[in-house]
Structure 1
């Protein structure tokens, strides 16, 4: 099953005297890039989260945000430094807005309390924090399950597009092979015409030497190997798309190989219909490559 690298999931929960909210989103990336914003006052939480995410995902730019608040308001403490910084930021915003002729409503106290750093929850007892960390880590599996479900849904819609592009490549390769007899006759006629034009100036050059040179030109122009390799790459791509493992990197490599063979086909074509097919092949391969960038 093809998995997309695009996904989103969110959860909320409470326990151990706290409430929390999660958000995780992923977009495409060459490797696995984790960007976590979690409370630094919960010991050993971030390493555990990185370990859990890395065990489930292989590719993608992953952004995770966790917000934790005490549910017992009596144990919450204002952070003087955090409050001062928040008020300074609000004042700066108001000043800039006024300079631009904008009038902003004053924030309510409850809104200020929600600003980062205003409330200090880091003074919780060690036992409370251990229980909190355990409760949060228990939430990771269902959070990642929801994320993967969305990535699977996205992948399910992406898979037919990828398969259609690979099928197009296979059909164009077959069409190119069908042109080879006509191309051979075309090249033979061109070579004979060229030979007739230069024969008067050949002097004493032996006919077998001329035949030898013509044979070498024919070998260099042969595209059978390129077409055979395109067939092999099509088979490999179809096998990958049918597997259940993460295949994004391998498909990305295959698109490079597809493009390499298509480039060679165009450069050796020497026959307008084959050149046209080669250019169409390159277009489809590029469309495949763009879609593969979203595959895990």
Structure 2
């Protein structure tokens, strides 16, 4: 299974009957899965289905889905209200007979409120349902494109993480081979420090100092930390090789890397080993930054 990034963008559009629509999908990093959707008024009934589709396809990241719908303007119908017109003509005729006034003209009659009615076309339920089905299908197309883009970025992230792991491995080997870790170098350094202490005072017990020196040398040994770093590198490579939604687990492993490197730096007993530890710490931080983008 391939790795996936949490960042991506996709669009899809279509039309059905009098409706034209477009989806815009965008996803960004997040600790969990958060789906945020904006729908036009009157389209709320598709929300549960859209949310289910998104939750089935994605497991992590904040995803924004925005639907825009435009309906073609239908031609309104104009009709004459025959009942109102008949009533007006009757009254006009009676007034004309009584007063001798001229009969009303056509334009005068049409200007009377209620004679002319503008009838808006009714929604076709079959058309509306077909449009909803088409909108859901367009969302699925957009979601497929979003998932594909996240996977392409995931492949690139996997390659970068592999390079960082290789660098950590090389630096760990460099730390292991540091001249300052050689037994003879440790003994010489401790002997020099003990000699300096004995020269400053005759109250120091040489045997006691030797015992303390042995304990200090044991505590300064980084063999255990280097072994754990090597184990973490192996685990990380196995996770990346299997793929899937491994972002959280790799993030935890990155924290473990950081802990071991910090301990290595604190135990470093010479400048070269300290510099190697700091360099390794920088690479671990780069590794962790990239892990933050994984699903």
TM-score for both structures, normalised by structure 1: 0.76
Q: Which runs of 5+ in 2 are unaligned?
A: 77-121
Partner of 2:190: 191
SS of equivalent residue, structure 2 residue 269 = coil
SS of equivalent residue, structure 1 residue 47 = helix
How many residues align? The count is 248
Q: Which runs of 5+ in 1 are unaligned?
A: 76-122
CA distance in 2, matches of 1:74, 1:178: 84
CA deviation after TM superposition for structure 1 residue 277, in Å: 0.7
Shift in CA distance, 204/180, structure 1 to aligned 2, threshold 3 Å: closer
Shift in CA distance, 236/133, structure 1 to aligned 2, threshold 3 Å: same
CA deviation after TM superposition for structure 1 residue 133, in Å: 2.9
Contact 1:170 1:234 in 2 (8 A): yes
CA deviation after TM superposition for structure 1 residue 266, in Å: 0.6
Partner of 2:135: 136
SS of equivalent residue, structure 2 residue 21 = strand
Does 2:214 align with 1:212?
no
Does 2:58 align with 1:71?
no
Does 2:54 align with 1:53?
yes
* Higher alpha-carbon Rg: 2
Give RMSD over aligned pairs: 2.3
CA distance in 2, matches of 1:7, 1:152: 9
CA deviation after TM superposition for structure 1 residue 182, in Å: 4.2
CA distance in 1, matches of 2:40, 2:25: 15
Contact 1:16 1:135 in 2 (8 A): no
CA deviation after TM superposition for structure 1 residue 9, in Å: 1.0
Partner of 2:16: 15
Partner of 1:226: 225
Partner of 1:41: 42
Show CA shifts across 1:48-102 (max 9, x none): 2222111111122211110112235348xxxxxxxxxxxxxxxxxxxxxxxxxxx
Shifted more, 198-207 versus 277-286: the winner is 198-207
CA deviation after TM superposition for structure 1 residue 181, in Å: 6.7
